[in-house]
Structure 1
Amino acid sequence: MPRLYGFDNQALTRVRAQERQVVREAVGRIRAGQSQAEVAAWMTAEGHRGTMGGEWTSMTLGRLLDNPAIAGLERIPDTGELCETGREALITPEEFRWLQERPGRRGSIRSVERREDDYQYLLSEGLTVCADCGQRMTGSRTGAGTPSYRCQSNFEGRGGCGKVRINASRLEDYVAEYVLGELSRPGAQAALESARKAMAAEAQQVVVRIAALEGKRTELAAPYAEGQLSRDSFVAADRHIGRDLKAERARLRYLEQGAEVPLGGIEDLARWWEHAPFASKRGLVLLLVEKIQVHPARARGVRAVDDRVTLIWRTALAA
C-alpha cells in the first residue's frame, strides 16, 4: 500500500517537510478560489508527483484533501465524527473542515450540493476567551446563521459557562480598529519585530518538546511488544502523550502564524489591511494581542461591543 502523500511512513508519525509545504500551498490556492484542477495542474507543472510517481489530477488531489489524516484527524467508525489523533498534520483541522464544508468546491470529487458560505474566524483558536469563566470562545453561527464567537458549555470535556456570545464581524472590526491604531504609533515596527522574534523562539522550543513527546511515544512500543507493559497501560500512556502532542501542535500552529507574518512599513501595513490575506491579518493580530476577553452583554439584545471587550496586549508598545 503506498504511503499517504506528505508522510514518511504508514503510521503517519513523520511528515515530509517539502510535501507538507506543497499541500499547504495547494489548500491556500483552493481557499483563494482556484479549482482543484487548476491546483493539480500547478503541482504537476512544478514537478511534484504523487507517491507512485503519477501526475496530479483533480481526482487524486481531491482524495488527498478528503483524507482526515492530513489534518491529524480520524473518523470515529460508529458516528463518523472527527476527532484529533495527536499525530503530525499537514494542514490545520480548521482548514480540513473548511474543505469538507465545501462539497461544491470547484473540481471536488464530492457532492456539489450547495451549503452556506463558510466564515473565516479571525480571532479563534484560543485568542478570544470568555471573561466570566476563562473558556476559549469558538466560532459558531446563531440560529439565524450569523457568525459569532461563543463560550461553549462543553468544549473537549472542559465545560465553560456557555453564557457569552458576541457578533463576529463587530468584534473583529473593533479589534482591527485598535490594532491599526497601534500600528500608527512611533516604534511600532520595532515592537512587532521583537514580538515576532519572541514567537519564533518559542516556536522552536515547542518543536523540541514535540520531538521529545514523539520519542516517548515511540519508546512505548518496545516494552509493550515485549509484554512488559499491559495493553491498558500502553493505551493510557499513549493517550496521555497524544493529548500533550495535540496541545503542543496547536500552540505551534498559533505561534507560526505570528512568526511568519510579512512585515513591511507600518504605513503600508495599515493601508493594506482591508484587502490583506486572512493569514497575514491574523498573524499581525497575534503579534500585538495576547488575549481578547469578552464580557457578557448588559442586557439581552445589546449590540454594542465597546464595553464588552478587554484587549490584553502582547507588545510593550501597546497599551
Structure 2
Amino acid sequence: MSPHRVVFLDAATLPFPLSFDASLGIRYEAFESTSAQALAGRIDGAEIVITNKVRLDAAQLRRASALKLICVAAAGTDNIDLTTAAALGIGVHNVPDYGSESVAEHVIASLFALRRELRAYASAASDGRWGRSPHFCWLGPSIHDLAGSVLGIVGRGRIGQATARKARALGMQVLFAQTPGKPCADDEREIDSLLADVDAVSLHIPLTPATRGLIDARRLGLMKPQAVLINTGRGALVDPFALAQALRTGVIAAAAIDVLEQEPPRAGHPLLAPHLKNLLLTPHVAWASQGAQQRLATRLVELVTGHVKAAQTAPTATAT
C-alpha cells in the first residue's frame, strides 16, 4: 500500500500537533510556513493538503496532480479557488464551528474592557494616580454597564448567534443588522439605522465584494459618540484610516480590533499608531483559546483519517 502523503503548509498557525494512526499508512509532513516559492514543491505528490492561510489558486491546483483533498484549518475557504477545485474533483473541507465560543467570549471580554475602561483604570492603579487620590478610589473615564445597553450584531452565523446568547445573558439588548446583499428579515435592521441606535456593534460576516469597507467614515459618523466598534470578522470590513481618524477625533468612543486587512501588518499601518489610546488591538487571537485549538486539531485529524479510510476501502477498478 502506497503511503498517503499529507502536508500541512503553515502548521505554526496551530500549536497543537496532529497525530495519525500509524496503521493507516499516512506520511505526514508539517511545515511551519510555506512561501510562494516553496509551495509548488511541497504540494507536488501530496494527496491531502492542510492549509490555514496559504493560498491555493487555479494554477497551483492544476499542477498538483495527486491532490484529492484540501483541509482548511479555519472557518473560511476564501484562500482556495473553489471553482477549480470542484472541476478537478478535489474535495475542500473547512472547520466552521471550532472557535465560535472562543470568538464570542473575546467579543464579550472586549466589551467589558472598553465599556468599563479597564485599561485606563489598571494604569491609574499602578502609575501613582490612585496613590495620590484623597479618596478611597480614583475616578477617571466614565464607566458604562453592559446590562441595559444595546449591542448591534452584523452577521447571524454561528459566531454572531453565540455572541448574542452571551450578550443577552448579561442583560444586553441585541439587535441584528441586515446582512449586506441579502433581504432584510423581519427581526433585522438596515445597517445604517442600526448603527445610530446601538451602544456597541460587533462584526461577524465574511469578506465579500458587498462587505469590503462596510464600516467607512460615513457609517462611523452614524454611530453614537459613546459607542464602540468590535471587529473579529475580517480586517477589510473596516476602513482602517477612517477608524483611526474617528478614534482620534471622538466620532466614536473606542474600538476593539482583532483582525486587519493585511496580517501581519506592515509598519505604518494607521491602527498601529501609538497615540490611539482608545483602541484595543489584538493580533488575530479571538479564535485561539486552548479549547478551540484542540477542537480544530481533532477535526483536522478526523477529516484526513476519514478520507484515507474511504480511499482504502473503495473498490478498485479491474480490467475487463
Indicate the structure with greater helix content.
Answer: 1
Q: TM-score range by the shorter chain?
A: under 0.3
Indicate the structure with greater strand content.
Answer: 2
Report the structure number with the largest CA radius of gyration: 2
Normalised by the length of structure 1, the TM-score is 0.27
